Structure 1
Amino acid sequence: MKPLETLKQSPERLWTSSFVTLTLCNLLLFTALQMTLSTLPAYVEDTLHGTSVQVSLVTSLFALSAIVARLFSARAMEKGGRNLLIFLGLAILLTALAGYYFTGSILVMLLLRVLFGIGFGMTSTAFPTMASDVIPVRRMGEGMGYFGLSTSLAMSIGPLIGLSLLQGPGFGSLLLGAAAALALILPLGFRLARSLPAGHQEPHEAPASASGSGASRRLLLPCLLNFLLSISYGGLLGFLALYGAERQLPHIAYFFLFNVVAIVIVRPLSGRIYDRFGPAALLIPGSLFISAGLLLLSYASSTAALFPAALCYGIGFGSMQPALQTWMIQSVGPRQRGFANGMFFNSLDLGVAVGSMLLGVIALYTSYAVMYRYSILAPALLLAVYLAILISGRSTKPGITHLSS
């Protein structure tokens, strides 16, 4: 990395080969995740004859184990253990995928979900932290917006591919496709290991231990908002396929396809909006779009009706998620970016886990349509909390600690 003085005077190039490679690795990682995350609940219910509670555990146990893994991964990142996290995490992920194919027991499946979560927690901490190190400081919102596009695209195309393979060639082809996506990361990871340093630290930066408690306090609000944002997404991942069966919608996977359209449209703009106006310009309208998308989804009775629902949800989620991640990265110093990214994904996974569990209980006593209407409470609460902070006069702007001397 260039010294800060040189960085201010030189052209701030975003699309370097390292940034493109990291973005592609992240896309492949999250595509493999989403291919299985959206399909395993239906597989467990239909093939392993699991109950609704066991189905929700398939998602929540994965998320909780990923959270625990990231707590240790953030420390490894500070000590320069990025390459170890990437390759060990990929090995664990591939091992768990192989285990899915041979298991015929719900208990073993749940144990493998814990193993998969550990591998994913390790790998998913490394890539965004490395990306935040190669993005120019003053283009952080735009850069993380483009990098986050890989996550959001995977959240849409992954379920679409996974559900299509599960309903077509079958479960084995689904696992083979996910394994192929992970295997493609290996040569790209070796390239990154040769081209990027083990870590990065700006001049005048305090050691991580000295400012860790302050960083944690600065991250509390965006973590809470990200948690609330992710609750409804847990309902989509865990139960959308089952909702399609309930409503007799054979092409329910098209929701994720239409979601891609919205994300591709909004993501390049959202990063620039963030850099110019801050998080409020994205979080407030985004909450309203997500609420509208969930409401429209709950009343969908045809494939055509999925389009406006997915469009609204994609605009909201696709603009809010990178805004929150950039906010968290800009609130800490460069050496703590691993910690900030870990907190971002932990709050996301915790929201998915809690959402899957709570919404699964609601669906058990009502229906999946009613469940999606209840899930609107999450973005509504997000909006209420954020507006309350704004009205109280407290600052909700990220403190860009790495620019201070």
Structure 2
Amino acid sequence: MEGQREKLWSKDFILLTICNLLLFMNLQMMTPAFPAYVSGRFHANDFTVSLVISLFALSAIVARLFSGEALKRGKRNQILIAGLCLALLSSAGYFYSGTIAMLLVMRILFGAGFGMVSTTFPTMTSNIIPPKRMGEGMGYFGLSTSLAMSIAPVIGLGLLGEYGFGTLVAAATVLILLIFPLIRLVRTSGAQPAKTMAASQQAGKVQFFDRAILLPCFLNLLLSITYGGLISFIALFGAEAHLANPGWFFLCNAIAILLVRPVSGKIFDRKGHIAVLIPGALLVLVGLLILSYATTMNVLLISAVFYGLGYGILQPSIQAWIINLVTPEKRGMANAAFLNSIDLGIALGSMLLGVIATATSYPAMYRMSALLMVVFLFVYFLYLAGQAKAKRRKAYLASKELGA
């Protein structure tokens, strides 16, 4: 029985990971194709193009807040089905969006559906992962997102270029359709303990956030700001540095993430977050510094490896840490907060680092971005010092009680 409880690779775990892969494949196939399509089809300016991305992100953030609360109250199936239906209808709706206004409506609807589903999948997964293997399990689950990030943009842009927007929309819609039969095969109830659920419903308190997860969410926000600077400006940085194809940065970055995530998860489970967060932050710091001095493709790819290793260590470890800090019925809220810290960080990184780049240069911007990881380490060390002080005080009071 013990071995069975510790099993990670169950049928439900595999199915949920595949479903998450299909969801993020849809997102990553469409997102990089939209700027080219919108500017070409509607002759839109840069501000309008940015709305296609930003309205989606805002809609997803708001949807996750309410989804986390609904999941806490046991409405998992309703949230999942409603979110999938919204994602399906809006994905198909892109094809019939003859005006920019209608396309923006579809993006808002897709953001809402995506926010609901992307909160539910990791919550369901965290409920079936053995507690002692949470870091490893969330690391493997997160590989679905990393895999989508590495291959979907290439597929999406290829379909757009070769066959047109209609074919791309059809392919993305089919990906969402495939989730419906797969999710029906998942048997886990993801149920909360009856006593905890009853207490939660009786209290009737709406809680979008928990102070217990403030620190890891803030650290994840800092990490995500650096990533926002990468996805927004790496192409412009590459052009300025006369690099042939800076897009290779993301491929090497994704490969490094895929390689390190399973290992870092096991270390997290055995030794805790202190064993992974410090080396992960240092790797990201070094990667950004190397990138800021890149003048050749080899240096660019080396920076991608360092950044990918650090990012692959940090993100799933922070997510597992957040999940471990809350009770089971709050995991939906915790996952929503984790995902929102990513989206908010990327948005802030795109805006704030863009201002810095305009005032200085892209290399200087990436060096400033590296300073965020110094802040990351400083805040984390303050937390560790506070924990150590509290532990010593607790031991001192316990010894005094024994002496009395």
Change (3 A) 1:285 1:164: farther
Sort the Cα spacing of 1:168 and 1:229 in 2 relative to 1 into closer, same or farther, 3 A: farther
> Helix, strand or coil: the match of 2:210?
helix
Which one of the candidate residues 320, 334, 343 is aligned to 1:349? 343
**Residue 381 of structure 2 corresponds to residue 387 of structure 1:** yes
* Aligned match of 2:117: 123
Change (3 A) 1:270 1:9: closer
CA distances 1:93-125 after superposition (whole Å, capped 9, x unpaired): 233333444546555444433222111110011
Q: 1-side partners of 2:94 and 2:290: how far apart?
A: 34
Structure 2 residue identity aligned to 1:24: I
Shift of 1:73: 0.9
Report the equivalent of 1:112: 106
Deviation at 1:130, TM superposition (A): 0.6
CA offset at residue 364 of structure 1?
4.9
Q: 1:265 to 1:357 in 2, by over 3 A?
A: same
* 1:178 matched residue in structure 2: 172
Indicate conservation of the 8 Å contact 2:91/2:173, yes or no: yes
Checking the alignment, whether the CA contact within 8 Å between 1:42 and 1:241 is kept in structure 2 is no
Question: Equivalents in 2 of 1:359, 1:52: separation in Å?
Answer: 17
| Pick aligned residue for 2:253 from 249, 259, 266 | 259
Does residue 141 in structure 1 map to residue 135 in structure 2? yes
**What residue in structure 2 maps to residue 84 of structure 1?**
78
Cα–Cα, structure 1 residues 169 and 297, in superposed 2: closer, same or farther, change >3 Å? farther
TM-score (norm 1): 0.84
- In the alignment, structure 2 segments of 5+ residues that lack a partner are 392-404
Tell me the residue number matched to 1:156.
Answer: 150
Aligned CA distance change for structure 1 residues 223 and 394 (closer, same or farther; 3 Å)? farther
What letter corresponds to residue 196 of structure 1 in structure 2? T
Match 2:322 to one of 300, 319, 328: 328
Question: Do 2:76 and 2:120's aligned partners in 1 also have CA atoms closer than 8 Å?
Answer: yes
Which whole-Å deviations, capped at 9, do the CAs of 1:309-360 have from their partners, x for residues lacking one? 2211110111101111101111111111111111111111111222222234
Cα distance in 2 for partners of 1:205, 1:80 equals 8
The change in CA–CA distance for 1:335 and 1:244 in structure 2 (over 3 A counts) is same
Compare CA radii of gyration and give the structure with the larger one.
2
- Report sequence identity in percent: 51
> How large is the RMSD of aligned CA atoms in angstroms?
3.2
**Closer, same or farther in 2 for the Cα pair 1:23/1:391, shift >3 Å?**
same
Q: Does the 8 Å contact 2:69/2:208 carry over to 1?
A: no
Answer with 276-285 or 198-207: which moved more.
198-207
2:68 to 60, 69, 74: 74
Q: 2:266 is matched by which residue type in structure 1?
A: R
Aligned to 2:371: 377
Match of 1:200 in 2: 192
Worse-superposed segment, 227-236 or 157-166: 157-166
Corresponding pairs, count: 389
Partner amino acid for 2:110?
F
TM-score under structure 2 length normalisation: 0.84
Whether the aligned pair in 1 keeps the contact of 2:209 and 2:337 (CA below 8 Å) is: no
Q: 2:230 — aligned with what?
A: 236
